[in-house]
Structure 1
Amino acid sequence: MQKTWIITGSARGLGRAILTAVLESGDNVLATARNPAQLDDLKALYGDRLEAFALDVTDEDRAHTAAKAAIAAFGQIDVLVNNAGYGHFEAFEQKSSADFRAEMETNLFGVINMTRAVLPSMRERRAGHILNVSSVGGRVGTPGLSAYQAAKWAVGGFTEVLRGEVAPLGIRIVSLEPGGMRTDWADIAGNAAASTVLPDYADTVGATRARIRAYAGNEVGDPARIAQVIRALARRDDVPAHLVLGTDALASFDAAEAERREAHARWLGVSRATVFDGPESEALGALLPG
C-alpha cells in the first residue's frame, strides 16, 4: 500500500538517502529542506510523488503548514521522519548560550514541532509512524557535544513518553540511534566551530575533535542501508522504543551500559538507604560528615 511521508532535513546526508529509498519504493513524500532547490533533481525524476517544501524546523507555524501541505498534496500523512539536526564540537565552557540554545532548538524542538503538527491527523486516522533520528549520542556522553547530546538524550525520553501516550491510538514511534555514518556530518560538526580548544580541554574535547576528524570518511555506517531499515520500520507495528544502528554505536552503547551497571551495583546500598524505614547502611553513613 502506498504511503505518504514527511522527511525533514532531506537535502543531504541520511535524509537524502531516506528520501531516495522511499521514492524508489513508490511512496509519496513531502521533503523539507532549508533550500528545497537542492531537491530539484529528484523532483525531475519522481514528479508529483515528491513535494519539496522550504522549512526551518524551529519555526512551529511553518511546521504546521508543512503538515497541511502534505495532506493537501497526498490526502494523508502516514510517516514522519524527524531527521533534521546538527552538532558542533566545542567545550561547554567555550560555547555561547546562543549557540547552545540554537542546537537545542533544532535537534529537540524541531522534533517536537513536527510531531505536534502531524499528531492530530494520525490520531484521527488511528494510524501512523513517527521515526525520530536520534543518535547513539542520546545514550552516551561525549566531550565536546554538550548541546547536541543533551538534545538527543531528550529526544529519547520524549520518544518513550509519547510512545506510551499514542500506542493505544495506533501510532508507532521509535528513536533511531546510529553511530558514525559516511555522510558529511563529521566534517561539518568538527570544522564548524571556529574556537580553539582551551589547553585545559585538550585531552577531552580536543581529543574528541581530532578523533572525529580522522574518522570522517571511514565511518562504518552505510546511509543507504540505514534508509532501508527506516523504510521497513514504517511498515511494521512492532517497532522498538530505541534502535541502535551500527557496530560502532553498539560498542559505545554496550560500554556505557556496563559502566552504569557497575556504578549501580557500587552505590546500591546508598540508593536503598534513603527511604523511610529503609535498611541501615554503612554506605550512607560513610557519605555523611562524622
Structure 2
Amino acid sequence: MPRVWFITGSSRGVGRALVEKILESGDVVVATARNPSQLDDIVAKYGSDKILATALDVTDFDQANKAAEEAVDKFGRIDVVVNNAGYADMASIEDADIKGFREQVDVNLFGVVNVTKAIVPIMRNQKSGHIIQVSSVGGRVGTPGAAAYQSAKWAVGGFSTVLAQEVAPFGIKVTVTEPGGIKTDWANIATETAKVSEPYEKTVGQMIQLVKGHSTWTEASEIARAIIHLSNVEDPPLRIILGKDALQYAHMAAKALAESDEKWDSVSKLEF
C-alpha cells in the first residue's frame, strides 16, 4: 500500500526534488506551495490520482488545517509530513528590518508549528505517522548575518524535542534533519537583499561572500534521498546532520561548547 506524504514548500529546491523522488518510488503526495500552479508539470506527468497540489501559506493556521483536510479527503490518511517551507534574508541584527525579522521567524518556526498542529490529530487517530522537519545545521551553530533564520531553526529543534516526547505514545515518530549548504536558489535569495553596513563588513559581509560561493554544497536531490531513507527506518533519530560540511560545523560547535562548559565548571557549580 503506497504511503501518503504531505510536503510544504514543494515548488522548488528540496521540496520539489522530494516530491519527484516520492512519486518515482510509487508513494503518493500532497504537495503544498504558495503557488501550486508551479507544480502543474509534475501533476501532468504523474496524474492527479498520485499527487494533489494545493495552496498553503504555512503562516496561516486555518489554511494549514484546510490543506490537511484536503489530504485526508483525497487519500484517506497522512503517513509522513515534511515541514520543508522556509527562507532566509541575511543582515546583522543591528541592520535587520524588524518586520522582516519577524516574517522569517513566522515562516521558519510558526509555519512548522501550524502544520504540525494541523497534522498531529490525524496521525494520533491513525496511531502512526512520521513528522520530519527540514531544519538546518544553523539550528546548532551561530552564523553572522543569519540571526532571524537560525533563531527559528534553533527553536524548531527545541519544539521538535518536546513534540517527540508528547506524541511517542501515539506511535508518531519525529525527526529533525539538519542539512548544511544545499545547491538551490536559497543562497541567491538569502544574499540578494542582504544589508551590510560598514561596521559589519568583516563579519556579516564575509559570511555573505562565503554563502555566494556555494559550488561545493550538497545537491537538493541528495537531501531528498536522505529524507526518504529516514522515513523507512524503524527507529529514526530525533535529530540528524546531513552533509559533510554540516558535520564539520556541528562538531566544531559541540567541541567549543564542551570546552567552555569545562572551563567554567567551577562557576556552574557555584564554587567560586
The TM-score with structure 1 as length reference comes to 0.92
The letter for the 2-side match of 1:178 is P
Asked if 2 retains the 8 angstrom alpha-carbon contact of 1:177 and 1:242, the reply is: yes
Pairing of 1:1-290 with structure 2 (within 5 A): 1-47=1-47, 48-193=49-194, 195=195, 197-215=196-214, 218-273=215-270, 281=271, 284=272
Asked if 2 retains the 8 angstrom alpha-carbon contact of 1:14 and 1:227, the reply is: yes
Asked if 2 retains the 8 angstrom alpha-carbon contact of 1:123 and 1:169, the reply is: yes
Q: In 1, distance between residues paired with 2:219 and 2:169?
A: 34
Q: In 2, distance between residues paired with 1:243 and 1:178?
A: 8
Q: Tell me, what secondary structure is at the counterpart of 2:218?
A: coil
How far residue 28 of structure 1 moved from its aligned partner, in angstroms, is: 1.0
The residue number in structure 2 matching 1:276 is: none
Q: Tell me, what secondary structure is at the counterpart of 2:182?
A: coil
How far residue 232 of structure 1 moved from its aligned partner, in angstroms, is: 2.1
- Which deviations, in whole Å up to 9, do the C-alpha atoms of 1:209-245 show, x marking residues without a partner? 1111122xx1331221221121122222311111100
Q: In 2, distance between residues paired with 1:237 and 1:170?
A: 12
- Which deviations, in whole Å up to 9, do the C-alpha atoms of 1:19-45 show, x marking residues without a partner? 111111111111011111110110001
Structure 1 residue ranges without an equivalent (≥5): 274-280, 285-290
The letter for the 1-side match of 2:70 is A
Q: In 1, distance between residues paired with 2:216 and 2:64?
A: 32
Q: Tell me, what secondary structure is at the counterpart of 1:57?
A: coil
How far residue 108 of structure 1 moved from its aligned partner, in angstroms, is: 0.2
The letter for the 1-side match of 2:81 is L
The letter for the 2-side match of 1:267 is W
How far residue 192 of structure 1 moved from its aligned partner, in angstroms, is: 2.9
The letter for the 1-side match of 2:198 is P
Larger Rg: 1
| RMSD, aligned CA | 0.9
Q: In 2, distance between residues paired with 1:246 and 1:229?
A: 10
The letter for the 2-side match of 1:163 is A
Q: Tell me, what secondary structure is at the counterpart of 1:93?
A: coil
Asked if 2 retains the 8 angstrom alpha-carbon contact of 1:220 and 1:247, the reply is: no
Structure 2 residue ranges without an equivalent (≥5): none
Q: In 2, distance between residues paired with 1:36 and 1:65?
A: 15
The letter for the 1-side match of 2:166 is E
Q: In 2, distance between residues paired with 1:219 and 1:252?
A: 15
Q: In 2, distance between residues paired with 1:268 and 1:198?
A: 38
- Which deviations, in whole Å up to 9, do the C-alpha atoms of 1:129-159 show, x marking residues without a partner? 0000000000000000000000000000111
The letter for the 1-side match of 2:32 is T
Asked if 2 retains the 8 angstrom alpha-carbon contact of 1:172 and 1:237, the reply is: no
The letter for the 2-side match of 1:26 is G
Q: In 2, distance between residues paired with 1:232 and 1:168?
A: 23
